[in-house]
Amino acid sequence: MNDQPTKYSREFAIQMDEEDELHAYRAEFYVKEGSIYFDGNSLGLLSKRAEKSMLLLLDSWKKYGIDGWIEGEYPWFYLSESLGGKMASLVGAAPEEVIVTGSTTSNLHQLISTFYEPKGMRTKILADNITFPSDIYALKSQIRLKCYDPDEHLVTVNSRDGHLLSEADIIESMTDDILVIVLSSILYRSGQILDMKLLTEEAHKRGIIIGFDLCHSIGSIPHQLSKWEVDFAFWCTYKHLNGGPGSVGALYVNKRHFGKEPGLAGWFSSRKDKQFDMEHDLTQANHAGAYQMGTPHVLSVAPLIGSLEIFDEIGIESIREKSLELTGYMLELINHELIEYEFVVRNPEEDSKRGGHIYLEHPEAARICKALKAKHIVPDFRTPNGIRLAPVALYNTFEEVWKTIQTLKTIMDEEEYKEFDNKRGVVA
């Protein structure tokens, strides 16, 4: 007689949690009691280590005043470089190729202003039509600054179904007039992972510079940016890295580009030993730090000190393994329990192509998200009809996945979603 619980039962989920080697890390985070938080791909939860490092840097300000720039456990003057080094393993880069600075969009502006130097027939930037809008705003802005027309000089690869991109279509669009390519490593809606290695190889065969927006992949999947010879990348730190709302972003520049003058030079682009010489001719840093601009936002960087300790301790490979188990389990439950309720899964089902969240579409998506929140389950609505659910390896459980799908089933069976308007809130 087989006493093993069925995979669709709560007992099975609890058993999975008991066997989970990362389960103890949940206690590192402030998880609201009685609530299920599946929005870590928009804003990760606060960890106790991040809180501690935040307070530590506040204390260094209190204790040292201006001398905090060079004294204390984490001198502020070198903080962007030291944290870049700690983050490098998450993107497969050398420490000097990563710098913690700016925001996603300001870093994209910096990188495009540096690498987009149109001349001859190469005057165009290639992106895609389903990427996050902020990237497109920045690219159009940079094209205008070079006195070109974005309608003509921003080329977008179209998704065949509105959710996924074909690498073959992207490669076909790498024509002789393309100078720079900017793509997302993981698509923010469908969670599709693009083949960065292949796309980089194909771009370089054609003499094209290529960079990636890693906002949805950093901290959720491994990368090998240096090995793949990616030219540049940029990302935020408040999603899977749990750096806090508005935490400082980061960028990567392949070392073969070191020495290239930053398009947007500033105070912290300088070589450290020359910065206070106050010369009007910049002596730029000989590493990714050259692509900083202003003074580091020390208090917005502080939580990353503690947060990155956890990633260093566990390793991104183990995090990715559990993430795939969580999303795979969620997909199994969705296909078993919700098939009759008009939900459409827009993720790739293959592990190699699926990022850290599940994306469902439903005509009543906004209402359903509100109904979930009323039951203390936090999803993420994406207009017009998308529901993102991100079971994060560091603090979510298999039992939470099971509870969420059962709650969704109840909401649909009882038509509880009809109590709410089918409109997004101010912050979706």
AA identity, residue 421: D
Q: Is 216 annotated as a binding residue?
A: yes
Q: Is 104 annotated as a binding residue?
A: yes
The C-alpha angle with vertex 381 and arms to 380 and 384, in degrees rounded to 5, equals 160
Residues contacting residue 325 through CB under 8 Å, at least 6 positions apart: 16, 398
Q: Is 105 annotated as a binding residue?
A: yes
At how many degrees (to 10) do helices 48-64 and 298-314 cross? 140
Q: Is 397 annotated as a binding residue?
A: no
Number of H helices, E strands in the chain: 13, 13
Side-chain half-sphere CA neighbours of 424 within 13 A? 12
Backbone dihedral region for residue 11 (phi beyond 0: left; psi -120 to 50: alpha; all else: beta) = alpha
Coil, strand, or helix at residue 210?
A: strand
The three-state DSSP-derived secondary structure of 61-92 is HHHHHHHHHCCCCCCHHHHHHHHHHHHHHHHC
Q: Is 200 annotated as a binding residue?
A: no
Q: Is 295 annotated as a binding residue?
A: yes
Instruction: Give yes or no for a cis peptide into 384 (omega within 30° of 0).
Output: yes
Q: Is 76 annotated as a binding residue?
A: no
Sign of CA dihedral 200, 230, 221, 129: negative
> Residues forming the annotated binding site?
104-105, 132-135, 213, 216, 238, 267, 295
> Residues forming the annotated binding site for pyridoxal 5'-phosphate?
104-105, 132-135, 213, 216, 238, 267, 295
